[in-house]
Amino acid sequence: MKSKKSYSPEEGAAPPSRCPDNTAFKQQRLPAWKPQLTIASVLSSFFLTGAFCLTVGVCLVLSANSVREIQIDYSDKCSDCSKFRENSSNWNKECHCSVNFTLKEDILGDVFMYYGLQNFYQNHHRYVMSRSDAQLLGRNVNIQRSYCAPFSTYGNGTPMAPCGAIANSMFNDTIDLFYNRNSSVIQVPLLKTGNSWWTDKNVKFRNPESYNLSSAFAGTARPPYWQKPVYLLDEEDERNNGYVNDDFIIWMRVSAFATFRNLYRRVRRIQHFAEGLPAGNYTFRIAYNFPVTRFKGRKHVILSTVVWSGGSNPFLGIAYLVSGTAATLTGFVITGIHLKLRKKKTYFQKQ
């Protein structure tokens, strides 16, 4: 049997070089900008950053404080309806309550109505995952393979539309606003559409394709805690029904905190409310459907305006102020260290 002959270079031949090619790129001789950090450049960057952040922070805080807002807690004022709703046998019965309040000054400009929930945790992992994005896009999917359980199908196999714990716990109080003008009561016109994002209705949420919406959801059933099917969420506007309903879309955008607010309505600026909400006496008439007593929650209605920086949330302004203060203090500390070291260096040079 012949043995395999190994390769050996010829006598006197140089071994192959493993060095990179002698080029500017491989030898790292390309021109480069290497900044020289001097004490002047470092201090100026810290002080300029601090001044910029402090200026922006002050502007944001002043802007947030200029927002006109009124917040009304109706948890206790509607306590009778709350007790009524705690009884599960009353799920299909209505309960109404009224809350009176007074605006001492006009709220000019666009006025937004929010509902607020306190001590309602939407950031639980199983709660956040309990949805089917494919179903919300109008696709025919097997929701038993989704994360919707136990809110996926009923005992007889009928699928829920929409499925999941998020959809099942949707906020469903109905809030109307009335203006008591002299001896007459005027209902404030509210807009229930146009409150969601463009990407929500055109990318994330779509209804199943069919010649009408009720047939599109044939063979499905509403979630257990809902009082009406998904295709009847808005009986006045057919375009605001199904998965593209504004209230449903906003609720499906879960909050990271236990206390949060969601946009509910916008005041339509016509007739008596062309400039906003005039000062006077008002009444909230609420159809109470969302119980909060069992998890020790609270419910609010918020009327608010917006400014160029958004709503009345000073968090961003405070963050800029903290960052600007930290950068400025760091600049002063570096200045002190530099002066101390320079003084010590001058002392030793004189010695």
The residues spanned by each domain of the chain are: 68-312
The pLDDT value recorded for residue 211 is: 81
What's the token pair of residue 346? 């001058």
The pLDDT value recorded for residue 38 is: 87
The mean pLDDT value for 257-263 works out to: 94
User: Average pLDDT over the chain, rounded to whole?
Assistant: 89
The mean pLDDT value for 75-94 works out to: 84
Of 185, 173, 188, 198, the residue nearest 111 (C-alpha): 188
- 92-96, 164-168, 258-262, 314-318, range with the lowest pLDDT: 92-96
Give the confidence band of 30 by pLDDT, cuts at 50, 70, 90.
confident
CB-based contacts of 286: which residues, under 8 Å, 6+ apart? 74, 78, 81, 96, 97, 98, 99, 173, 174, 175, 176, 301
DSSP 95: -
The residue ranges of DSSP E strands in the chain, in sequence order, are: 69-73, 96-103, 107-108, 112-118, 174-181, 184-187, 190-191, 260-267, 276-277, 280-287, 298-304
Amino acid sitting at position 231: Y
Whether the per-residue pLDDT at 298 is higher than 60: the answer is yes
Of 317, 345, 350, the residue nearest 66 (C-alpha): 317
What pairing do the DSSP bridges indicate for beta strands 112-118 and 298-304?
Answer: antiparallel
Whether the per-residue pLDDT at 277 is higher than 80: the answer is yes
The pLDDT value recorded for residue 39 is: 87
Whether the per-residue pLDDT at 222 is higher than 90: the answer is yes
Of 247, 103, 246, 111, the residue nearest 190 (C-alpha): 111
The pLDDT value recorded for residue 162 is: 93
Whether residue 168 contacts residue 91, with contact meaning beta carbons closer than 8 Å, is answered with: no
Whether the per-residue pLDDT at 350 is higher than 70: the answer is no
What is the value of pTM for the model shown? 0.80
